[in-house]
Amino acid sequence: MRYSQILLPTLKENPAEAEVVSHRLMLRAGFIRKLSSGIYTYLPFGLAAIRKVERIVREEMNRAGAQELAMPMVQPADLWIETGRYEKYGPELLRFKDRHDRESCLGPTHEEVITDLVRREIHSYRELPVNLYQIQTKFRDEIRPRFGLMRGREFLMKDAYSFDVSDEMAEISYRKMYEAYKRIFTRCGLDFRAVEADSGTIGGSFSHEFMVLAKTGEDTIVVCTNCDYAANMEKAAVRPPEGPAAVEMLTMSKVETPGKRKVEAVCEFLNIPPSGLVKTMVYIADGKPVAVLVRGDRDVQEVKLKNLLGAADVVLAEDKQVFDATGVPTGYLGPVGITIRVVADREVAAMRNFAAGANEKNYHLINVNMDRDFAVEAVADLRKITPDDPCPCCNGRLALTEGIEVGHVFKLGTKYSESMRAVFQDSDGQEKPFVMGCYGIGITRVAAAAIEQNHDQNGIIFPLPLAPYQAIILNLDMKDAALSAAAEDLYTKLQALGVETLLDDRDERPGSKFKDADLLGIPFRIMIGKRFSKDGVIEVRRRRDGVTEEMSLESLPGILQARISDEISGY
């Protein structure tokens, strides 16, 4: 492609509305333009990068045996009513009526549509397993669309759905997708981790998120520095504590702690470390209060609490709610004699002679011990993991890092097939619901995540497999006929060899051509200028590290082609 002919409106200034790097650079590099909140036009260059992601995804899905189809974006509400999601999905689902007053919605995901298709078309175990996917525009009316393509309202997703005869077979389908995803993100040239994700009330470890490691990620992930363990912070299991310590239980007593309500203040006053105190936190779970006990220096992991209680909604109670439920002012609540449900983190069960609120203003208890002094409804892993915790798998050291969720694999079981009565006849003649899995990749988010992970102060540094063009030829003096002839010659030869090449044939100063080439992030920059006129030397500069090599007009196409195909096959 010739630069002079492509719609590539680069900006010199940083756009004010962009908060993250990928958004800023995609606007500056002329990849995207905003139409309205969370809705973008993909310009030719941006689309070229998106197509690269799509191609890799498509190849790997096909390799894994999945079949591509295309489902409608407009979906009848009736299907969503069948699964109960028409209400439950909430305001992210854009609902509307057509001219015949039929309720419809714009697809944020396609479980209902695919299950409807399969229940109509597949009837026998002989036709299974099957895995169907599409690459299509989704619409989610996100509460806070932001960061450009990272969290749009309209975005491109690859979504796949597997149908199997049994749980065991569904696990095989799940594994296949898990492996395909690893190949996809490796081939995209991204630094990523597959992490155990929270699978809500469904349970089990049959949900993994694929995270691109980048500082601007909205998720926190825990990775082991020693083994392969990685988990979403929400899910990361804490290793069970040693315990209880072989320490004699002392006599519990009440002490006055005037005005001391915060953990730090109480501990300082009692001259104990925060690890010697138990906090009593009140949550409202589906409208009902529940007290959660954790060590003074720990935080409750709300997702774990939600899963333990099987609650749809868990929020920290406000002071007034705590008082209404317990009659105790904030800061003095404790487990001894409390009147609401109580659950405890495992660590609390292993503690001896700890301090806790006395359920009376200005008083705390010391030498409290669980079981002897109070009972709880359940003991479970309820706290947030910290970087000081050992790895739950190997005892190694943990680190926290930020990630961008680019993909999600999920074993669904029979949730949808049962509610939609999607059944097949098994080999034993019995009618059974399909066992399903679903697998998503945010195509447009992958493109953005690649930029979050690969850039410098001058612009994008595309991983070679995702670059819209692999090489850019800069003709540094358009008025020099010999230079132009050489640039044209190179352009033709590189293209003939399959190297995706952009020819910067604009009548611009060299400085501004360099700047744009850096901004666009094209992996190889080929410079034809004075040194060519004088000595026949063409400089080839690698965007990633600035390493520059000198080549001749004759040798360049072959060398570059070999280098590019080497590098790409290395992923």
- Site for ligand ATP, rule CB under 6 A: 109, 140, 142, 151-152, 155, 157, 405-408, 440, 442, 444-445
Q: Find the shortest distance in angstroms from Cβ 153 to ligand ATP.
A: 7
**SS3 for 369?**
coil
Instruction: Compare residues 8 and 406 and give the one whose CB is closer to ligand ATP.
Output: 406
Instruction: Compare residues 40 and 229 and give the one whose CB is closer to ligand ATP.
Output: 40
Q: Do residues 439 and 160 make contact, with C-beta atoms less than 8 angstroms apart? A: yes
Instruction: Compare residues 50 and 503 and give the one whose CB is closer to ligand ATP.
Output: 50
Q: Find the shortest distance in angstroms from Cβ 438 to ligand ATP.
A: 8
Q: Find the shortest distance in angstroms from Cβ 106 to ligand ATP.
A: 13
Cα gap 356→365, rounded to integer Å: 5
- 152's CB contacts (< 8 A; 6+ apart) are 38, 39, 40, 142, 145, 444
Q: Find the shortest distance in angstroms from Cβ 94 to ligand ATP.
A: 13
Instruction: Compare residues 108 and 392 and give the one whose CB is closer to ligand ATP.
Output: 108
Closest by CA to 473, choosing from 517, 526, 509, 522, is: 526
- 16's CB contacts (< 8 A; 6+ apart) are none
Cα gap 207→169, rounded to integer Å: 16
Q: Find the shortest distance in angstroms from Cβ 270 to ligand ATP.
A: 42
Q: Please give the angle made by the CA atoms of 326, 332 and 333, to the nearest 5 degrees.
A: 40
CB-based burial label for 537 (10 Å; 0-12, 13-18, 19+): middle
Instruction: Compare residues 3 and 181 and give the one whose CB is closer to ligand ATP.
Output: 181
Closest by CA to 530, choosing from 483, 462, 473, is: 483
Q: Find the shortest distance in angstroms from Cβ 109 to ligand ATP.
A: 6
From residue 354, alpha-carbon distances to 87, 257, 305 in Å are 46, 15, 23
Q: Do residues 30 and 7 make contact, with C-beta atoms less than 8 angstroms apart? A: yes
Q: Find the shortest distance in angstroms from Cβ 308 to ligand ATP.
A: 21
Q: Find the shortest distance in angstroms from Cβ 194 to ligand ATP.
A: 12
Instruction: Compare residues 187 and 445 and give the one whose CB is closer to ligand ATP.
Output: 445
Any bridge partners for residue 253, and if so which?
366
The interaxial angle of helices 44-63 and 167-187, nearest 10 deg, is: 140
Q: Find the shortest distance in angstroms from Cβ 212 to ligand ATP.
A: 9
Residue ranges of alpha helices (H) inside 312-414 are 319-326, 346-349
Tokens of 435: 């066992």
Instruction: Compare residues 125 and 155 and give the one whose CB is closer to ligand ATP.
Output: 155
Cα gap 30→49, rounded to integer Å: 12
Relative to beta strand 74-76, strand 103-106 is: antiparallel
From residue 145, alpha-carbon distances to 22, 30, 150 in Å are 15, 20, 9
Instruction: Compare residues 103 and 142 and give the one whose CB is closer to ligand ATP.
Output: 142
Instruction: Compare residues 260 and 445 and give the one whose CB is closer to ligand ATP.
Output: 445
**Rounded to 5 degrees, what are φ and ψ at 565?**
-70, -30
Chain position whose Cβ is nearest to ligand ATP: 442
Cα gap 501→493, rounded to integer Å: 10
Q: Find the shortest distance in angstroms from Cβ 360 to ligand ATP.
A: 43
Instruction: Compare residues 322 and 406 and give the one whose CB is closer to ligand ATP.
Output: 406
